[in-house]
Amino acid sequence: MYQNFKKEFFLNKNYIVFVIGKSFLMKNQDFKSLIFFLKKEKKKIFILKNLSEEIHNKEIDNAYKKIRHLKKAHFIAVGGGGTIDAGKILSLMFMKKVEKSWEFFLNKDLINKKNLKNAKLYALPTTSGSGSEATPFIVLYNEAFKVKKAIATKEVLPNIIFFNYSFIKNMPHSISINSAMDALGQAIESLISKKRNKYSEKFAYKTINLIIKYLPLLVINKENTFLIREKLFTASIYSGKSIKVAETNLAHAICDSLGPLTKLNHGLLVGTFTPICFNFFKRKNFENRQINKIEKIFKENNYKNISNFYSKFLKNNKINLKLNMFEFYKIKQKILNVGSMKNCISIVTNDELRKILLKKIDIT
């Protein structure tokens, strides 16, 4: 694998900063080979490891302290969507010389601040879900305020995305499924977004077709081949391209609000609420061309409907949340105030949202 990096890393004098997620196996042979050859070439390496997939501001700020003294750096993010986002925010902090990550979310003018240092970002995804490597978005959780927010800037788009089969071939099926649920959910949401256009639609439909075809081969037929992993990885990239334009809406607003409170896997939450939200919009917009086209794709692939497809893969991971009345009210209000809710193809009222949430939440 290290041959692919030679031109980018061996021929320059920059420091190399690896941003590693908790789920990544540091004993991976290709990764060990890469580190070995970089050290052999006397490259100066910093490894920021064990970053959580649900990255939070304190964790990022502590990581930044370890590399803020560097003058130039290449950032290599190795992990899932959260780790890629960690690489994005760290490279942005490094370029702008901003000490606290949350400052970008409080004062978005900082994003346009002149770069004071040089940095490049490279992505080595180890999951096939969020498509973060293909989007200009950074999502960060603030522990103190118990809130998750997003910012966007093209400066954090990775310079190069590397696909390495050895990094994902042994990925547990649970992670493969949850990653695919996230990518599929993003594609479906982008098709029922007010911001969609022909570009986002093209990549959204490509995502749906790839996941419908190749996820069953991996999970049900137990075919763990390079081709299948590559196709699911490509689907993730395509989903990122679709939401880069159309953005997400109701399902992700729900999941991003519930995630920090419940600590449940993001992909699992998206897989649970996407069919519920899709069916809600279907009832309100039964003549919508995109909704009918999505339904047709699933039926052509021998699935009765979207819910039927999701149920096949989430049957062993069904969720039933329990919240007290205060928590339920607080979550509901938080969802209604999420900026992406304005992307919904039709207005979601307070009462409609309550009914959607009660399909999976019990009030204690």
For each of the domains in the chain, give its residue range(s) and CATH number, in order of start: 2-167 (3.40.50.1970), 172-363 (1.20.1090.10)
What 3-state class would DSSP assign to 282?
helix
What 3-state class would DSSP assign to 319?
coil
Q: What percent of the chain has pLDDT over 90?
A: 59
pLDDT digits (tens, 9 = 90+) for 29-51: 888 888 888 888 778 888 998 88
301 or 8: whose pLDDT is higher?
301
CA angle 254–134–31, rounded 5-degree value: 105
pLDDT digits (tens, 9 = 90+) for 92-125: 999 999 999 999 999 989 999 999 998 999 998 8
Q: Average pLDDT in the 128-151 region?
A: 86
pTM reported for the whole predicted model: 0.88
Under 8 Å between Cβ of 270 and 188: no
Give the pLDDT confidence score for residue 5 in this predicted structure: 55
Kindly report the length of the chain. Answer: 364
Q: Average pLDDT in the 20-31 region?
A: 76
Under 8 Å between Cβ of 128 and 235: yes
Q: At what angle do helices 250-262 and 325-336 cross, to 10 degrees?
A: 140
30 or 346: whose pLDDT is higher?
346
What 3-state class would DSSP assign to 173?
helix
Instruction: Give CA 50 to chain center in angstroms.
Output: 18
Give the pLDDT confidence score for residue 136 in this predicted structure: 92
pLDDT digits (tens, 9 = 90+) for 263-303: 888 899 999 999 999 999 999 998 889 999 999 999 999 99
CA angle 302–308–309, rounded 5-degree value: 70
Q: Average pLDDT in the 205-218 region?
A: 95
In this predicted structure, the answer to whether residue 2 has a pLDDT above a threshold of 50 is no
Q: What is the mean pLDDT of the chain?
A: 89
pLDDT digits (tens, 9 = 90+) for 305-343: 899 999 888 876 778 789 999 999 999 999 999 989 999
pLDDT band at 1; cut points 50, 70, 90: very low
Per-residue tokens: 225: 């081949």
pLDDT band at 59; cut points 50, 70, 90: very high
70 or 34: whose pLDDT is higher?
70
Under 8 Å between Cβ of 173 and 218: yes
What 3-state class would DSSP assign to 152?
strand
